[in-house]
Amino acid sequence: MAGDDMRYYETFYGIHTNNWSVTFGSFSSHNKLLVKEYISEGCSTEEISEATLTTNKFIYPHHIKKTYFIEGVIEGHITVAASSATSTVTSYRVTIGKVNVSGTEDELYSTGWVTVNTTLDWDSTYSIGEEMVYPFWIDAWTHSELGEYDRIYVQVEVNGDNTCEIWHSNDSTWEDIKITIPLRL
């Protein structure tokens, strides 16, 4: 039946909260979250993280459904900027994974390493860095099952010098980290 293969597309945004954290599986007191809607701009959040950290994982800490599948085309974008000096970004990788209550993490889909070789300028007069938004698309045609004891996370990895940063502002104007995931419910 054609209706059995309908996909539901869920969009998430990456933010970093200061006064709220989640503990689930291997994510202990974790502040980088995936949210469906931005929270109040008055909330205490961080706008940036060092791009070269491997801890740039954003978790959706809630149930979506007891059992569901990721299948289709995942799409989104990340934002990288210069910080305190001209920066060079050589490549980036976005991974969608799942973590279960026991802490086991499984990489489900990835962009692989995307070569970009971008120079981002720093304006010392105004203390502002140039930013670049990198889009991505991931074919997820082999479906992945997520159950009631699993949560989705997105990991952003950037190869560059130590003066580049990823942006994750709690601001719907910029949508620094945005990802749309196709789900079969």
Note the pLDDT tens digit of each residue in 6-46.
789 999 999 999 999 999 999 999 999 999 999 999 999 99
110, part of any domain: yes
2, part of any domain: no
CA–CA distance, 8 with 105 (Å, rounded to integer): 24
Listed in sequence order, the residues at least 6 apart from 1 whose beta carbon sits closer than 8 Å to its beta carbon are none
Q: How confident is the model at residue 162 (pLDDT cuts 50, 70, 90)?
A: confident
Per-residue model confidence (pLDDT) at position 5:
64
Is residue 109 a contact partner of residue 74, using CB atoms and an 8 Å limit? yes
- Whether the pLDDT of residue 1 is over 80: the answer is no
34, part of any domain: yes
| Beta partners for residue 184, in sequence order | 69
- Whether the pLDDT of residue 4 is over 70: the answer is no
147, part of any domain: yes
Among the listed residues 57, 84, 88, the one whose alpha carbon sits nearest the alpha carbon of residue 177: 57
Domain with 64, as residue range(s), is 13-184
Give the 3-state secondary structure of residue 49: strand
In the chain, the number of structural domains is: 1
Is residue 73 a contact partner of residue 109, using CB atoms and an 8 Å limit? no
Tally the residues of the chain.
Answer: 185
1, part of any domain: no
Listed in sequence order, the residues at least 6 apart from 137 whose beta carbon sits closer than 8 Å to its beta carbon are 73, 74, 75
φ and ψ at residue 183, rounded to 5 degrees = -120, 140
In tens, the pLDDT along 50-76 reads 887 777 999 999 989 999 999 999 999
- CA distances for 97 relative to 37, 145, 156, 160, angstroms: 21, 11, 11, 23
7, part of any domain: no
Per-residue model confidence (pLDDT) at position 154:
97
126, part of any domain: yes
Listed in sequence order, the residues at least 6 apart from 10 whose beta carbon sits closer than 8 Å to its beta carbon are 36, 64, 180, 181, 183
Q: What is the mean pLDDT of the chain?
A: 92
Greatest mean pLDDT among 118-122, 157-161, 177-181 lies in 177-181
Token match 């997105």: residue?
154
DSSP secondary structure string, 127-147? TEE-EEEEEEEEEEEEEEEE-
- Whether the pLDDT of residue 120 is over 90: the answer is yes
